[in-house]
């Protein structure tokens, strides 16, 4: 037998997703699943109808690889309407299979071996593997719980740590706002510093704005591409999964300068050829929905956020109040059974003894010990699901 490993070195650099593992255990034990970020409620009726219609009208073959004209026109109109961005459907857009494919196709399109990509930690777990698969090395900058002027807590970075992270090898910085898992919405000052550093060091910004419409307390989402000097050095990534509760449709899009758009289109063509054609037609209808829809989504999630925050506080957690997205990072230190109980042990105990599934905080950290006091709750769930979780979490608390 040859001793040559049958799997590539690149796949040995990361492990399987912990989030999907928690979902599997939750299913097996019948726990209320607040782990993975997928809604358990229906997608909007009008969006579903548009998909059914598109299938009936026979949009059933390969579409233009970088996106159907209808969807690219809708994306262009959408960016103009919401952010005053000028996006040419012919030159600036690539439609992919979810923001997930957008991110890896982008990194493969811009990175060379030896490049560094700055990633804020904690992070959405795909960014590390995406960087490695594209030949680049992640360079971590820490977000830590920090006091706000109004007496709350937010997850912020140290500006000096960020300044030091930029070096001659830096190719790009990934900016995910609203942020998963912390719920942080990057402030104007934070974004301006990131933009200034990108311009100064000739670095690209790759954004993940998948939660752009789930944002609270009158905050505004600011695409970094709209900041001075950034339009020509930003790849803006978003998609339909979260805004329209269709995570299974796999529709995302990149908005980028023409040269980078062309490079992403090439990678995308050979990775997946294209996103599902009939769903792209329905995606155009979704993006063209009126402002009422987006306002309704925001207020629905705001209500769920406030409900779960209150439950978690009463149950003995120290949760961070999210500014956007639909997750709560909660410090469980006060609930430890033993002084050394870590997040994975606590998370498993919560599934098996209480009947509620979360994601252990360490899965979002490079240095896993930094996440060992936290679990992440997802509240993109029906009110009945959140109520069932509340009953379990508050059992015996009076
Ligand atoms: C920050 C972030 N980006 C991207 C995704 C995945 O997006 P998509 O379904 O469009 O691939 C998720 C899903 O949880 C996410 O949290």
Q: Would residue 332 count as lying in a domain?
A: yes
Ligand 1 atom at minimum distance from 179 CA: 1
Q: Is the pLDDT of residue 248 over 60?
A: yes
How many A from CA of 179 to the centre of ligand 1? 11
Residue 7 CA neighbour count, 13 Å, CB half: 5
Q: Would residue 2 count as lying in a domain?
A: no
Choosing from 289, 324, 349, the residue where a domain stops is: 289
Tokens of 75: 């994306």
Q: Is the pLDDT of residue 6 over 90?
A: no
Whose tokens are 């599997």? That residue is 24
Whether the CB-CB separation of 190 and 330 falls below 8 Å is answered with no
193 and 340 inside one domain? no
Three-state DSSP at 313 gives helix
How many A from CA of 336 to the centre of ligand 1? 31
What is the pLDDT, as a whole number, of residue 299?
A: 97
Q: Is the pLDDT of residue 2 over 70?
A: no
Ligand 1 atom at minimum distance from 325 CA: 16
Confidence of residue 26 (pLDDT cuts 50, 70, 90): confident
Q: Is the pLDDT of residue 313 over 90?
A: yes
What is the pLDDT, as a whole number, of residue 21?
A: 74
What is the pLDDT, as a whole number, of residue 398?
A: 58
When comparing pLDDT for 247 and 1, which is higher? 247
Ligand 1 atom at minimum distance from 97 CA: 11
What is the pLDDT, as a whole number, of residue 24?
A: 82
329 and 269 inside one domain? no
Q: Would residue 5 count as lying in a domain?
A: no
Domain span at residue 372? 10-37+292-394
Identify the CATH number of the domain in which residue 337 sits: 3.90.1150.10
Mean pLDDT value across residues 247-253: 97
How many A from CA of 251 to the centre of ligand 1? 10
How many A from CA of 210 to the centre of ligand 1? 6
Confidence of residue 22 (pLDDT cuts 50, 70, 90): confident
How many A from CA of 209 to the centre of ligand 1? 9
385 and 299 inside one domain? yes
pLDDT in tens, 378-391: 999 999 999 999 99
269 and 156 inside one domain? yes
- Lowest mean per-residue pLDDT among 145-149, 168-172, 369-373: 145-149
How many A from CA of 394 to the centre of ligand 1? 30
How many A from CA of 100 to the centre of ligand 1? 6
Residues in contact with ligand 1 (CB, 6 Å cut-off): 37, 98-100, 124, 176, 180, 208, 210, 239, 241, 247, 252
Tokens of 235: 């790849």
Q: Which residues are bridge partners to 327 per DSSP?
A: 378
Mutate to test the pocket of ligand 1, among 123, 182, 208, 376 (most ligand atoms within 8 A of CB): 208
Question: What element of type H or E holds 46?
Answer: helix 45-56
Q: Is the pLDDT of residue 1 over 60?
A: no
What residue's CA is closest to ligand 1, atom 14? 37
Ligand 1 atom at minimum distance from 239 CA: 10
**Mean pLDDT, the chain, as a whole number?**
95
Ligand 1 atom at minimum distance from 100 CA: 11
Number of residues assigned to the chain: 398
Mean pLDDT value across residues 273-301: 97
Q: Would residue 317 count as lying in a domain?
A: yes
159 and 252 inside one domain? yes
Continuous H helices in the chain:
18-29, 45-56, 69-83, 98-110, 127-133, 159-165, 188-201, 258-272, 277-287, 291-315, 343-349, 383-394
Q: What percent of the chain has pLDDT over 70?
A: 98
281 and 160 inside one domain? yes
What residue's CA is closest to ligand 1, atom 7? 99
Whether the CB-CB separation of 245 and 233 falls below 8 Å is answered with no
Structural domains of the chain, count:
2
What residue's CA is closest to ligand 1, atom 16? 180
Mutate to test the pocket of ligand 1, among 119, 124, 248 (most ligand atoms within 8 A of CB): 124
How many A from CA of 75 to the centre of ligand 1? 18
Alpha-carbon torsion angle 247, 97, 178, 110, nearest 10 = 160
The sign of the dihedral angle between the CA atoms of 320, 373, 351, 25 is: positive
201 and 298 inside one domain? no
Q: Would residue 200 count as lying in a domain?
A: yes
Q: Which residues are bridge partners to 237 per DSSP?
A: 254
pTM of structure: 0.96
193 and 88 inside one domain? yes
Q: Which residues are bridge partners to 144 per DSSP?
A: 156
Whose tokens are 């960087």? That residue is 131
How many A from CA of 89 to the centre of ligand 1? 23
Q: Would residue 171 count as lying in a domain?
A: yes
How many A from CA of 338 to the centre of ligand 1? 34
Mutate to test the pocket of ligand 1, among 184, 209, 210, 254 (most ligand atoms within 8 A of CB): 210
60 and 19 inside one domain? no
Q: At what angle do helices 291-315 and 383-394 cross, to 10 degrees?
A: 10
229 and 344 inside one domain? no
Mean pLDDT value across residues 166-181: 98
Nearest CA-CA partner of 254 in 20, 92, 136: 92
Q: Is the pLDDT of residue 396 over 80?
A: no
Q: Which residues are bridge partners to 378 per DSSP?
A: 327
81 and 117 inside one domain? yes
Mean pLDDT value across residues 169-195: 98
Question: What element of type H or E holds 298?
Answer: helix 291-315
- Return d(Cα 162, Cα 168) in angstroms, integer: 14
Choosing from 289, 313, 348, the residue where a domain stops is: 289
Mutate to test the pocket of ligand 1, among 100, 128, 377 (most ligand atoms within 8 A of CB): 100
121 and 236 inside one domain? yes
What is the pLDDT, as a whole number, of residue 8?
A: 85
- Return d(Cα 50, Cα 21) in angstroms, integer: 34
pLDDT in tens, 193-244: 999 999 999 999 999 999 999 999 999 999 999 999 999 999 999 999 999 9
What is the pLDDT, as a whole number, of residue 9?
A: 83
Tokens of 173: 């910085």
What is the pLDDT, as a whole number, of residue 15?
A: 74
What is the pLDDT, as a whole number, of residue 35?
A: 92
- Return d(Cα 357, Cα 69) in angstroms, integer: 41
pLDDT in tens, 76-105: 999 999 999 999 999 999 999 999 999 999
How many A from CA of 99 to the centre of ligand 1? 6
Mean pLDDT value across residues 124-134: 92
């Amino acid at each position: 037998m040859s001793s040559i490993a049958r799997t590539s070195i690149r796949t040995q650099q990361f492990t399987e997703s912990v989030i999907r593992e928690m979902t599997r255990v939750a299913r097996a034990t019948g726990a209320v699943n607040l782990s993975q970020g997928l809604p358990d409620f229906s997608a909007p009726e009008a969006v579903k109808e548009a998909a059914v219609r598109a299938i009936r009208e026979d949009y059933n073959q390969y579409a233009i690889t970088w996106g159907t004209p209808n969807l690219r026109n809708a994306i262009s109109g959408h960016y103009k309407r919401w952010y005053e961005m000028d996006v040419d459907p012919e030159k600036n857009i690539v439609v992919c299979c979810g923001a997930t494919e957008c991110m890896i196709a982008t990194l493969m399109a811009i990175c060379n071996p030896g490049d560094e990509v700055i990633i804020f930690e904690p992070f959405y777990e795909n960014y590390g593997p995406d960087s490695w698969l594209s030949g680049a090395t992640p360079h971590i900058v820490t977000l830590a719980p920090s006091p706000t002027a109004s007496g709350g807590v937010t997850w912020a970075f140290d500006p000096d740590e960020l300044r030091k992270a930029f070096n001659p090898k830096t190719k790009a910085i990934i900016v995910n706002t609203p942020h998963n898992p912390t719920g942080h919405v990057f402030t104007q000052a934070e974004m301006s510093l990131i933009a200034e550093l990108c311009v100064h060091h000739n670095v690209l910004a790759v954004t993940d704005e998948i939660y752009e419409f789930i944002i609270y307390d009158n905050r505004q989402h600011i695409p970094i591409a709209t900041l001075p000097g950034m339009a020509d050095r930003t790849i803006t990534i978003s998609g339909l999964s979260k805004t329209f509760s269709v995570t299974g449709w796999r529709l995302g899009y990149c908005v980028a300068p023409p040269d980078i758009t062309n490079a992403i289109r090439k990678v995308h063509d050979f990775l997946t050829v294209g996103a599902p054609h009939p769903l792209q037609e329905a995606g155009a209808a979704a993006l063209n929905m009126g402002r009422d829809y987006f306002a309704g989504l925001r207020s629905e999630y705001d209500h769920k956020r406030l409900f779960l925050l209150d439950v978690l506080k009463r149950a003995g957690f120290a949760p961070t109040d999210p500014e956007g997205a639909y997750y709560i990072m909660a410090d469980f230190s006060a609930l430890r059974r033993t002084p050394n109980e870590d997040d994975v042990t606590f998370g498993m105990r919560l599934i098996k003894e209480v009947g509620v599934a979360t994601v252990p905080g360490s899965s979002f950290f490079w240095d896993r010990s930094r996440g060992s006091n936290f679990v992440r709750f997802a509240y993109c769930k029906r009110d009945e699901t959140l109520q069932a979780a509340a009953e379990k979490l508050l059992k015996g608390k009076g």
